[in-house]
Amino acid sequence: MSETSKVEQRNERVDLRRGSSSRRAALRNALETRRRSGTYVPKEQYMRRADKPGLLVKTNAAAEAPSLFTTAVNRMGYGETSGQKSEWNQLGGNEPERFLGYVQQQLNPSTIDDSVYEGQRSGAGFTTLDKGLSELWVDHHRSGVGWSERSRPIREVELDTFLRAIYSKRQLQEVMVEFWMNHFSMYGWDYWSVHVWSDVVNIVRTDCFRNFHTLLRKITKHPSMLYYLDNYASTLAGPNENHARELVELHTLGAENYYGVGDPSAVPVEPHPDGTNWPIAYVDNDVYEATRALTGWSVANGSSDRPNNGQFYYDDADHDRFQKIILGLTMPANRKQEDGDDLLRRLADHPGTARHIARKLCRRFISDDPPQNVVDAAAQRFFSRRNSSNQIRDTLQVILESPEFEATWAQKVKRPFDVAVSALRATKSNFNFTWNADDVDDFLWNYDRCGQALFTWPAPDGFPDVRNKWQSTTPRVMTWRLMLWMADERTSSGNYRWNVVSKTTGAGALTAEEVVDYWANRIFRRNLDPLDHDELVDFMANGFSPTSPLPIGNDSDTDARVRSLVALMCNMPTFLER
């Protein structure tokens, strides 16, 4: 099939689905109108059946906080998938033991059998993910390579990111890859990044639990970062401040450790384990001096007499050789690349960097405004392990095993990527993320409209990680549309990818109440608020008795309602909590 035919077919499929989506939207609006007008009466009188294994039966129970299992798999990963609870139960004799076992397992991903994901990847048709930097540069940057081939590495990473999040059992590793890619945020679709993007992600995945200084050094010297923040052209004659400023303000010390525009000698100092006194914060002059330290740090891009392999390239002729003083560290005149190397070491070893990184990690795993005691404990661990090969892993352990990790449920919300992946995991769907699949562009087009298209954040501060940025109209409406689209998506053979109808009948759920209970148990793993529960039952019953069997599997309208019900659940506030 030609590319033009594929596009036309995709557009046809989108157009055909608009009618059914509009019909279901009208039904939802009618239900909401009844609720707001007071004509909706929760059906508390209905009896719940307890003869179906695995179905929740507490009609009037209050909404519950989730179990430790649910908290763990949603905060350390992308939600529950089929069979995961059984594996959890094998990790200990009680829930606390299982949780600690799960933490240790996830912090050591090499010990986890990941054959399910590997099987998916082996059939995906990827060709660039294992290439090294120089090979990527040569194969996808050479003269005559069109955009499709040049951008193939980042497009394969995009598909592989979904595959890993959905199928990999190394869930915490994938969350940490997302965290560090957002921390060292770059616009991946830039001309100078698309062809080497898989190397960036491979670096992050390799070092996401290891030593921060090692990770910082690799990313700082990577051609994607050197081009993105313009350091490739920063010279003695024309220094560029962009890279140095983001290195200090975002990647290491953070704005919370900014002391203003004053004299560096006026910044208070504190003793450091190296036996000297270090300034407790930075001023603008430190950024200017860091800019000078990074002059000459560039890329082997074939210009002048340089090699053309994409590797880091230090150009001594472009380096500022005069004395520099950065965060109290004097760098004598006439030094070379070691100016930049010592700068990275100084920044990585600063207590302020420990506080900044610890706060961001706590914000990711605990709450938007994380408890200061956990931030302090994590920062102390991060700083004390600054020379350890497992510095990041040890810091995460402090955060994950803190009481606050378990006790602060619903203080975070899922971003669009979390919503899409956790819905696919909960429904155990089989979306096709293989290379050049007919429907993969349809999925990405619908997903990208939600506001978190992968590797597209234009600014160096990364996608926001606070709930108020993702509870606005656009991301919520678009994720709702994405859920409906996924519920209606068919394979080329005509089968629904969200095979929720056969899963429903296979569980013995035939009445409206049974259908809601089955999927509530599967998607939420806890009792719903009674009002939410009864509204879902009312929607599924569609005017009939909620305890009467429905023609599920034998009636297209009823089957469409089941799919819409699951889509609705995957966009409820209860599902969006983290």
| Bigger pLDDT: 43 vs 185 | 185
- Residue 397's CB is within 10 A of a number of other CB atoms, namely 17
- Confidence class for position 432, pLDDT limits 50, 70, 90: confident
Q: Which amino acid belongs to residue 101?
A: G
- Residue 42's CB is within 10 A of a number of other CB atoms, namely 17
CA–CA–CA angle 271, 273, 274 (5° rounding): 100
CB-CB contact of 488 with 20 (8 Å): yes
Residue 42 CA to residue 541 CA, distance in Å, equals 13
- Confidence class for position 496, pLDDT limits 50, 70, 90: confident
Q: Which of 488, 485, 514, 511 minimizes the C-alpha distance to 499?
A: 488
Residue 183: exposure state from Cβ atoms within 10 A (0-12, 13-18, ≥19): buried
Q: Would you give the distance in Å from CA 539 to the centre of its chain?
A: 32
- Confidence class for position 247, pLDDT limits 50, 70, 90: very high
Tokens representing 454 are 């992968």
Give the torsion through C-alpha atoms of 477, 480, 484, 486, to 10 deg: 110
pLDDT averaged over every residue in the chain: 89
Tokens representing 375 are 């931030």
Per-residue CA distances from 542 to 160, 288, 425, 529 (Å): 40, 67, 28, 20
CB-CB contact of 264 with 285 (8 Å): yes
Residue 280: exposure state from Cβ atoms within 10 A (0-12, 13-18, ≥19): middle
b/e for 399-408, b at 16 or more Cβ within 10 A? Answer: bbebebbbeb
CB-CB contact of 571 with 486 (8 Å): no
Greatest CA span in the chain, whole angstroms? Answer: 85
Asked whether residue 411 carries a pLDDT value surpassing 80, the answer given is: yes
Q: What percent of the chain clears pLDDT 90, i.e. is strictly above it?
A: 78
Residue 54: exposure state from Cβ atoms within 10 A (0-12, 13-18, ≥19): exposed
CB-CB contact of 492 with 539 (8 Å): no
Q: What is the mean pLDDT of residues 297-315?
A: 95
Q: What is the mean pLDDT of residues 403-409?
A: 93
**Which contiguous run of DSSP H or E holds residue 330?**
strand 329-331
Tokens representing 292 are 């000078």
Q: Is 308 helix (H, G, I), strand (E, B) or coil?
A: strand
Q: Which of 216, 520, 468, 476 minimizes the C-alpha distance to 342?
A: 216
CA–CA–CA angle 114, 116, 119 (5° rounding): 110
* pLDDT at res. 430: 77
Taking phi over 0 as left and psi of -120 to 50 as alpha, with beta for the rest, 406 belongs to alpha
Residue 427 CA to residue 236 CA, distance in Å, equals 57
* Candidate from 38-42, 509-513, 532-536 with smallest mean pLDDT: 38-42
* Candidate from 103-112, 171-180, 386-395, 489-498 with smallest mean pLDDT: 489-498
| Bigger pLDDT: 22 vs 273 | 273
Which residue is associated with the tokens 């599997």?
Answer: 553
For the stretch 37-85, pLDDT in tens is: 433 333 333 333 344 444 444 344 445 678 999 999 999 999 999 899 9
Q: What is the mean pLDDT of residues 308-329?
A: 97
* pLDDT at res. 525: 84
Q: Which of 49, 84, 50 minimizes the C-alpha distance to 67?
A: 84
Dump the DSSP string for 138-154.
HHHHSTT--HHHHTHHH
Residue 464 CA to residue 183 CA, distance in Å, equals 10
Q: What is the mean pLDDT of residues 387-399?
A: 98
**CB < 8 Å & 24+ apart, contacts of 368-372:** 368/411, 368/412, 368/465, 368/466, 368/467, 370/404, 371/404, 371/408
Asked whether residue 32 carries a pLDDT value surpassing 80, the answer given is: no
* pLDDT at res. 64: 64
